[in-house]
A and B are shown apart, each in its own frame.
Chain A
Amino acid sequence: MSLKLDHIGYNRGSFSLRDISISVPEGSILGIGGQNGSGKSTLLKLMYGFYRPDSGRIFLEKKALSEISTREISRNIAVVNQEISEPFNFTALEVVKLSGYSRNDETISPLEAMEKCGISHLSNRTFSELSGGEKRLVIIAAAVYQDAKIILMDEPTAFLDVDKEERVKAIIRNLNEDGRTLILVLHDINLLNSICSHVVLLKEGRIIAEGKKETVLTLENLENAYSTRFRILEDAGPYKFAPADYKLM
């Protein structure tokens, strides 16, 4: 299942995305990076049809996204949005179950999906009572239950404790090993570097670099994307990039 963006333009007054062309390789983990307000989340919402592009087209496999029914899209693309409204008095399990809306057959049960994300113990808890991190994991479990080939995640690790962040990273890797394509919006350069195979860097609604992680994550590109000078840290564990004036203590 491949996703291809073809010269997408999306204009909302002061904010716009211009001429975005991305080809998401099957089985890859594509990271979308860039400064706040560079259009990362908007791009994600365009990718599953929540917003309609003003120009250009998005192709899912060979079909244009605008010609596929919402249900059909959701069978192929699952989304973990960053901000979730809290439903009235739903249990975590009910929230996960909702994601089976478009499924014809059940290859995995809601509880199994929660088990996979290590949160089966939360199944009967009220969703709105959960902590932010637990909620994120429930939504990820819901995406797992939706069982789509492509999973979009908007800042999946933001505001998470270290242990939960590690768990989310592990889930992402597992999903990828299962053959799923993941598209992640990440503001953290080191996360882009550590979990993604491919990276797109956005700046003010335009792509400034796209391709394999190794070719995109260069000091010049980062400097261009984030308007800050970077330097490479040696032997700093998962951390490779830091602002140039950042001192490691």
Chain B
Amino acid sequence: MVDAEITENRNRKISLFFTKASLLVVFLVVSVIYSTFIGSVTIPVQNIASIYLKQIPFFGNFVSAGYTYSQYEIVVLIREPEVLAAVVVGAALAIGGTSVQSVFRNPITEPYIIGISSGATLGAVIALATSTTIFGAYSVQFLSFFTSIAVVFVVYFLSFRTGRVPPIYLLLTGIAISLFISALVGLILFSSRKLQNEAFAWLLGSLSGITWQELGLVTLLVMISSLILGTIWKELDALQMGEPHARSIGVNVEKTKLIALTVTTVGVSAAVSISGLIGFVGLVIPHLARIVFGGSNRKVLPMSALFGGIFLLISDDLARTLVHNEILPVGIITGLIGVPFFMYMLSRISRGNYVS
């Protein structure tokens, strides 16, 4: 009797999970399509529809235009990459948050804490200050990507203690190095007031201006890093129980941390290099996924990616449409939505029915 009941219970749970997950997927797809319909320029729905059809290989040849070239440019070259970038960046930040929170066993950590944000800012500011063009139009993105990875590695190696990297050292070193790098950034910015505007925009985060080219590369990096994180979901789960326990059930704790932090850094740095610093996604979204889908990373990793993509997409839609004919930095919107949600979560946490 117990067995049958358990199986039935389990089946019900699985089907409930699939219902929730597929609802999210459908919602994501619908919001992606809807997001390309909105913007400061109003384009008739049938025009956007025919632009979509035109984009389908071979079939597109049979679609009569009926739209202007600038409408095509707006949908295909401006809105589509930006909308997809919102999904990819949101997913990368949320997955990164899930992984970092698991490694640190700390609900209020996010990927930025290990030095990604300060490193990326340093790279961006250096690129802007020296107006380097070694990597063409993508010098800012490129430099911020590499500096951020470099800074995380510095943090990691400074945290070594007798062959281990205790999370608490990693956390404190990350904060310390981040402050140090921020001071450097401040120094560079202080010496050039003209730079402050551009750097400010970068610090607030923006998805405007992303091209297909950079989106392709970033998506590739984010996908690879997410897939690798997906293969170590059990290890990440075990880390949450504390390193002594994780080790006792056979998890190679140090290697898991190294892999998790490396791939997280690559994925999040890639995302940040095109988006600037977008806050709160990495902090809040993993918890949302855990509340809805339970704590196991098997579900939390993919579902936080979905939630993160949807969250940033909606935030970006608001950033693009809240004020007529102006774009707000999306980081402001995520902050405005993120903070109240974070406070709500804190109250849940303090009531002890989530983590105590």
Q: Which residues of A contact B (CB under 8 A)?
A: 45, 48-50, 52, 70-75, 77-79, 81, 83-91, 94-95, 98-99, 101-102, 111, 126, 128-129, 139, 142, 146, 152
Q: Are A129 and B352 in contact (CB under 8 A)?
A: yes
Which of A81, A84, A88, A146: most chain B Cβ within 10 A?
A: A88
Contacts of B244 in A (CB 8 A): 45, 50, 79, 81, 83
| Closest residue of A by beta carbon distance from B243 | A50
Specify which of A70, A72, A86, A90 is in contact with B356 (CB 8 Å cutoff): A86
Give the Cβ gap from A81 to chain B, nearest Cβ, in Å.
5
Report the separation of the CA atoms of residues A101 and B247 in the bound assembly, to the nearest whole angstrom: 11
Q: Are B249 and A87 in contact (CB under 8 A)?
A: no
Give the Cβ gap from A197 to chain B, nearest Cβ, in Å.
23
Which of B101, B240, B287, B353: most chain A Cβ within 10 A?
A: B240
Give the Cβ gap from B153 to chain A, nearest Cβ, in Å.
24
Report the separation of the CA atoms of residues A78 and B248 in the bound assembly, to the nearest whole angstrom: 6
Specify which of B238, B290, B355 is in contact with A98 (CB 8 Å cutoff): B238
Specify which of B163, B251, B295 is in contact with A52 (CB 8 Å cutoff): B163
Kindly list 6 other residue pairs between chains A and B, CB separation below 8 angstroms, not including A50-B248, A81-B248, A83-B244.
A48-B248, A70-B252, A84-B245, A87-B241, A95-B241, A139-B245
Does B322 interact with chain A (Cβ within 8 Å)?
Answer: no
Report the separation of the CA atoms of residues A50 and B287 in the bound assembly, to the nearest whole angstrom: 30
Q: Are B355 and A70 in contact (CB under 8 A)?
A: no
Contacts of A49 in B (CB 8 A): 247
Contacts of A152 in B (CB 8 A): 248
One digit per residue, 1 when the CB lies within 8 angstroms of any chain A CB and 0 when it does not, for chain B 32-49 equals 000000000000000000
| Closest residue of B by beta carbon distance from A123 | B6
Q: Are A89 and B291 in contact (CB under 8 A)?
A: yes
Does B105 interact with chain A (Cβ within 8 Å)?
Answer: yes
Specify which of A85, A89, A129 is in contact with B242 (CB 8 Å cutoff): A85
Contacts of A128 in B (CB 8 A): 352-356
Report the separation of the CA atoms of residues A48 and B291 in the bound assembly, to the nearest whole angstrom: 34
Contacts of A98 in B (CB 8 A): 234, 237-238, 241, 249
Q: Which residues of B contact A (CB under 8 A)?
A: 2, 6, 101, 105, 107, 163, 234-235, 237-238, 240-245, 247-252, 287, 290-291, 294-296, 352-356
Report the separation of the CA atoms of residues A128 and B240 in the bound assembly, to the nearest whole angstrom: 12
Give the Cβ gap from B154 to chain A, nearest Cβ, in Å.
26
Q: Are B355 and A89 in contact (CB under 8 A)?
A: yes
| Closest residue of B by beta carbon distance from A79 | B248
Report the separation of the CA atoms of residues A88 and B296 in the bound assembly, to the nearest whole angstrom: 8
Contacts of B290 in A (CB 8 A): 88-89
Contacts of B291 in A (CB 8 A): 89
Contacts of A91 in B (CB 8 A): 294-295
Give the Cβ gap from B252 to chain A, nearest Cβ, in Å.
5
Specify which of B105, B250, B352, B354 is in contact with A74 (CB 8 Å cutoff): B250
Which of A45, A98, A126: most chain B Cβ within 10 A?
A: A98
Q: A89-B291, A90-B295, A94-B294 are in contact. Are A70 and B241 (CB under 8 A)?
A: no
Q: Are B247 and A50 in contact (CB under 8 A)?
A: yes
| Closest residue of A by beta carbon distance from B290 | A89
Contacts of B355 in A (CB 8 A): 86-89, 128
Contacts of A139 in B (CB 8 A): 245
Give the Cβ gap from A111 to chain B, nearest Cβ, in Å.
7
Report the separation of the CA atoms of residues A77 and B250 in the bound assembly, to the nearest whole angstrom: 9
9 contacts between A and B (CB under 8 A): A71-B250, A74-B247, A87-B240, A88-B287, A89-B290, A90-B296, A94-B295, A95-B241, A128-B356
Contacts of A75 in B (CB 8 A): 250
Q: A48-B248, A52-B163, A98-B241 are in contact. Are A88 and B356 (CB under 8 A)?
A: no
| Closest residue of B by beta carbon distance from A127 | B295
Q: Are A77 and B248 in contact (CB under 8 A)?
A: yes
Report the separation of the CA atoms of residues A128 and B352 in the bound assembly, to the nearest whole angstrom: 8
Report the separation of the CA atoms of residues A86 and B244 in the bound assembly, to the nearest whole angstrom: 13
Give the Cβ gap from B40 to chain A, nearest Cβ, in Å.
40
Give the Cβ gap from A109 to chain B, nearest Cβ, in Å.
9
Specify which of B235, B250, B353 is in contact with A126 (CB 8 Å cutoff): B353
Give the Cβ gap from B194 to chain A, nearest Cβ, in Å.
45
Which of A50, A78, A129: most chain B Cβ within 10 A?
A: A50
| Closest residue of B by beta carbon distance from A111 | B6
Give the Cβ gap from B353 to chain A, nearest Cβ, in Å.
6
Contacts of B248 in A (CB 8 A): 48, 50, 74, 77-79, 81, 152
